[in-house]
Each structure stands twice: as structure tokens, then as C-alpha cells.
Homo-oligomer: A and B are copies of this chain.
């Protein structure tokens, strides 16, 4: 049990990464993961994202073309399989199996970061990579932040015994243990059955918000914009025409009281300048519609320039 999922990322980085090592990451990928890996002076091997998750063929090709020495620098494959942050996509069952084969062939562990698994609003559940792996090559991590309360700072790691022991030692040096009081609260939340009543409520609430945002995007975003339709989670990844820089546009959006995170922040290869992450979990449906309308108008105005 860790101090939120962010500590799980930090501990795994601490035990796997030496300076100049590399982590294979999706482009785009989670900001907090980039920051954890960079803290340990990691470089990156970048892999594209498709509608059914990481481009496994690209990963395989890149690994195959490397010298053995280069390959030994790759210490982890980091992936967010369900309702990707920021991209919203989900890794298909077939690709999960393929990823395990690659991990096996090149002896590179997979770090499976799965905070949104309980937040599915459509489509069928897919088994975790961890559950499909027979060789102890997958480190699974998740959190209570999306299904209990983020302020509790409760995350967890499931790993092979040898790795788990190393993480435990690192954890003791980092902060001895995770707050015990909040662990008791989480235990009560689970054993009382409250969690089983709460998750369907969260799903219903967020599903309505997702549908509203998709509807509003269709209605207000101009031609040349694209976005995906996530089956769950909290995020939609939208791209706008090339000529718009979403980082530069951000202050204007804030003036209109709309916020997003610009795409480049999630991309370690310098791409993403014309993308943005939209979060539909926070605002109510009315505000979502109004926000997307304002953002759509701003984009139209930019394109008209």
C-alpha cells in the first residue's frame, strides 16, 4: 500500500532506473509518470498510441532494431491499459497478450498503471495484463483516488515476490509506511459494502458527463478537429488543426473560464502541440456544454484569423 499511485510510480522508478536508463512510454502519456521517471534521470523510448492502445508493432520494431547494449538500457515498459490518461483509449486483449510476449522475449518488465479500471461506462471488461501474465514480469498498480477520495492518498502495487521485497525496502527508506488511519477508513469502506454502492453511482454520474461532452464536441467543435470516444475514465483527447498551438491558446481559454491541459505536456517526443486533454469528471453537465461551446468558438475564431 502506497501513498497514492504517484508514490507507486516513484518507488518502482527508484528500484529500476539508474541515470541514462530508458523507459518505454506511450506518446502521449501520464504527466506524473514522466515526472517520476525524470526524477531518476531516465530517458525515454517513445511508442505511438492507436485507438486500441499502444502501437505494439512499433515497440517491437524499435526493440528489434536496437543493439543488445541499447536494449539493456530499457528498464520498463510503462502503459495505462484502461481509459488512458490523457488519451482515453483502451489496450485491446490481443495487444495485451502481444505485449506480454515482447516483455518475455526481451526480459523487460511491464509497469501496468490502472487507476481507472472501475470507471467503465460502455464496452466489455478486459482482463488486466498482470492477470494474463504467467511469468511475474508485470508490476500492477492502482489507487483508491478515483473510487474513494484522492485526499486519502492510498494506492497499491501488486508484484512478483522478489520485486515486492525490493519495493518494501525502498518504501521503508522513503516514508516508513502509508498513513494507517486512512488505511483503516478504506478497509471500512470496502468491508461495509459502501464501495459496492458507490462505484455504480460514480459510473452513472461520469457516463452522463462523458456523453454530454461528446455531444457538445459534435455540436460546437469546427471541422478539422478530432477526438476519441472513451469507454470509461475521465478524459477525452482532442486534436485541433495544425496551425493552432494549444499551449499558446491556453491563456485565452482561461479568459473564457475554460481550462484544459495542452497536449505537448504529455508528449516526451516534442509532439502534441495541437492537442488537448479534456476532463469531463469535474464540471456538471450544463457547464460541460457551455465550456465546450466556448472552446469551440475560440478555435473557430483562431482558424478564422
State which of B3, B38, B170 has its C-beta within 8 Å of the C-beta of A175.
Answer: B3
Alpha-carbon distance A93/B145, docked complex (angstroms): 46
Q: Is A303 part of the binding interface, using a Cβ–Cβ cutoff of 8 Å?
A: no
**Do A174 and B38 form a contact, CB below 8 Å, given A151-B180, A181-B182?**
no
User: Which of A6-14, A20-28, A54-62, A94-102 has 4 or more CB atoms under 8 Å from chain B?
Assistant: A6-14
Q: Which residues of chain A from 252 to 266 have a CB within 8 Å of any chain B CB?
A: none
Q: How far is the CA of A174 from the CA of B8 in the complex (A)?
A: 9
Given A14-B39, A182-B182, are A32 and B173 also a contact pair (CB < 8 Å)?
yes
Residues of chain B lying within 8 A (CB to CB) of residue A51: none
Q: Which of A4, A173, A175, A178 has its CB near the most chain B CB atoms (within 10 A)?
A: A175
Contacts of A153 in B (CB 8 A): 3, 175-180
In whole angstroms, what is the CA distance A127 to B265 when docked?
A: 45
Partner-B contacts on A (CB < 8 A)? 2-4, 6-7, 10, 14, 32, 35-36, 38-39, 149-153, 170, 172-182, 185
